[in-house]
Structure 1
């Protein structure tokens, strides 16, 4: 499905309810499968979370998680400790190009039995569930936090818990802390100190009810919309000021881009600042929140501001090579972008090309990050239904703000 977004001069103030965080939901679904007394409210309606739920209920030998990267990592660890169960875990063509070796090697340290069905280091993988032989594992600290969280989520189900030693500089710390906080919410004790994570075993669980906070990554697109609008506001629910999600850094980051955030009654209101912002170049280290890099880069482009974003090394192994995709699409619109293995530098620009077709590369965030530019020029979004991966209601919510989605 391709969509056309006609240029609009401004948005309409509105209140939107954003679906539960995909990151929180997928962690809690693993824990609920291990401990069925856990109840989850405000579950994400994303494709990824639906695929996770289906995989956890499946009794088939082959489990296909399509494009769901989080599910691939979390389920690899989950099935590895399901004693006696044999599973072939596979996914889409792109998923079979995304590395899994670091997690597999870590699980093998525990005595888990995992082999590759095709290319060494990549899905599909064959898992023969076993009881772990040790309670200590080590892995590089500068890898995707999902590898680390995958181990943390199964740790309490092991007889002696698990000690995870992280070697080197830790990246994506907020995601590790999110996992630790959710574990504590359901009664699992753990700690994260001096590059060592310790998760205690949990023998008995009491009934627990956990409410998933709405997704801050999804909120990022509305920060962009308000930044590009003229003195308008959008209210989003349900959010809390002391969020577990690293992407809540948006509130501070977008203040530099002219958006103020007000918290009230489990909602946030994003308001265009009346104070003039003379910032020429935004410089950020996004190693703790790389998923909002695309949104920020496009916002800066729409505002005509330069930006220099670093800490982006994990973007090359996402749904697409997000750094290369951003460069190609922004340059089609008339921008100038330089990328390295872990950074993006955008030059300031005074104009935006109109009626450009934005390719999304099977990446939900590409579609949603570029959509706010309709406040500057008419554009087309190819394969627009890719947003269902994380935010199926996105286009309908834009219509509520008066976007002309055709």
Structure 2
């Protein structure tokens, strides 16, 4: 479905309920599979979480997780220690281009049995579930935090727990801390000190109910909408000030772009408080929250200001090469973007082309990051249904704010 978004002059004040965090949900689903008495509330209604649930319930040899990168990483570790179970884990064409070698090698260090069906280092992989022979593993620290979290999630189910040594500078620390916090929420203790994560064994029954906080990366699109609007506010739930999610840094970052965040009881209200936009800090480091980089870059473009974002190396191995995709689509709209392997520089610009068709590259975040520009101009979003990967109600929620759309 290709969607035309019409230029709107003002957004409606409204209150929206955002689906549960995909990141928190998928971690908790693995823990629930290991400890079935755990119950989860406010589960994400994203495609990725649905695929995770389906995979965990499957008894088939071949498990296809399509585009769900988190599911690929977490399930690789889960099936690797599921004794006696053989699984071939596969996915979409793009998933087969996304590396899994570092995680596979870490699991092989533990004594797990995993082989590649096609290209070395990439899915599909064949997993022979077995009990690990050691409780110590080392891997690079500057890799996707999902590799590290995958190991952390299976750790308590192992007879001797797990010690994970991270070599080098650790990136995406908030996601590691999120995993530790969720483990603690269900009664499992762990530590993360001096590049070493230690999680003890827990062989008992866990009876806990956990409420998933709503997704902060989904909130980013409403920060962008409010920043691009004139004196409007939006209230969204369910959020908490002491969040486990690194993307909650939005509340500080968007102060520079004229948006104030007020925390209520399980809600946040975003309000445009200033027409004078401050420059973002030069070299804003998003290594702890890379999923909001696209939104921030597009917001700055819409406001006519430049930005220089760093810490973006993981964006090259997402659903698409997000740095290349951002450069291509912003430049179609009249902007100028320079990228390296881990940085993006947007030049200030005071023009936005109208009726441009934005390619989404099978990437949900491309569709949602560019949609707020409809506050400034009319545009087309190609393959708009791709948002279902993380936020199926996105277009419905935009309509509640006064956005007008039509299928083309």
With normalisation by structure 2, the TM-score equals 0.99
Provide the residue aligned with 2:360 in structure 1.
360
Matched, 1:100 2:115: no
Mark the CA change 1:296 to 1:111 in structure 2 (over 3 Å): closer, same or farther.
Answer: same
- The within-5 A match list for 1:51-200 is 51-200=51-200
- Whole-angstrom distance in 2 between the partners of 1:71 and 1:153: 12
- Whole-angstrom distance in 1 between the partners of 2:377 and 2:56: 44
- The within-5 A match list for 1:377-388 is 377-388=377-388
Decide whether the 8 Å contact of 1:281 with 1:306 is kept in 2: no
- Whole-angstrom distance in 1 between the partners of 2:2 and 2:38: 40
- Whole-angstrom distance in 1 between the partners of 2:278 and 2:204: 57
Superposed displacement of residue 273, structure 1: 1.1
Superposed displacement of residue 278, structure 1: 4.1
- The within-5 A match list for 1:324-335 is 324-335=324-335
Provide the residue aligned with 2:204 in structure 1.
204
Superposed displacement of residue 276, structure 1: 3.0
- Whole-angstrom distance in 1 between the partners of 2:150 and 2:126: 17
Decide whether the 8 Å contact of 1:290 with 1:314 is kept in 2: yes
Superposed displacement of residue 207, structure 1: 1.1
Give the alignment's Cα RMSD to 1 decimal.
0.9
Superposed displacement of residue 214, structure 1: 0.2
Count residues with an aligned counterpart.
406
- Whole-angstrom distance in 1 between the partners of 2:274 and 2:143: 41
Uncovered stretches (5+) of structure 1, i.e. residues with no partner:
none
- 3-state SS in 1 of match to 2:198: strand
Decide whether the 8 Å contact of 2:279 with 2:307 is kept in 1: no
Provide the residue aligned with 2:397 in structure 1.
397
Decide whether the 8 Å contact of 1:236 with 1:267 is kept in 2: yes
- 3-state SS in 1 of match to 2:5: strand
- The within-5 A match list for 1:313-328 is 313-328=313-328
Decide whether the 8 Å contact of 1:4 with 1:381 is kept in 2: yes
Uncovered stretches (5+) of structure 2, i.e. residues with no partner:
none
Provide the residue aligned with 1:242 in structure 2.
242
Decide whether the 8 Å contact of 1:82 with 1:129 is kept in 2: yes
Decide whether the 8 Å contact of 1:187 with 1:205 is kept in 2: no
Provide the residue aligned with 2:300 in structure 1.
300
- 3-state SS in 2 of match to 1:298: helix
- 3-state SS in 1 of match to 2:256: helix
Decide whether the 8 Å contact of 2:217 with 2:247 is kept in 1: yes
Mark the CA change 1:12 to 1:96 in structure 2 (over 3 Å): closer, same or farther.
Answer: same
- Whole-angstrom distance in 1 between the partners of 2:204 and 2:280: 56
- Whole-angstrom distance in 1 between the partners of 2:127 and 2:256: 47
Provide the residue aligned with 2:29 in structure 1.
29
Superposed displacement of residue 281, structure 1: 7.0
With normalisation by structure 1, the TM-score equals 0.99
- 3-state SS in 1 of match to 2:133: coil
- Whole-angstrom distance in 1 between the partners of 2:94 and 2:276: 43
Superposed displacement of residue 275, structure 1: 6.5
- Whole-angstrom distance in 1 between the partners of 2:361 and 2:91: 16
Provide the residue aligned with 1:44 in structure 2.
44
Structure 1, residues 209-242: CA drift from partner, whole Å, max 9, x if none? Answer: 0000000000000000000000000000000000
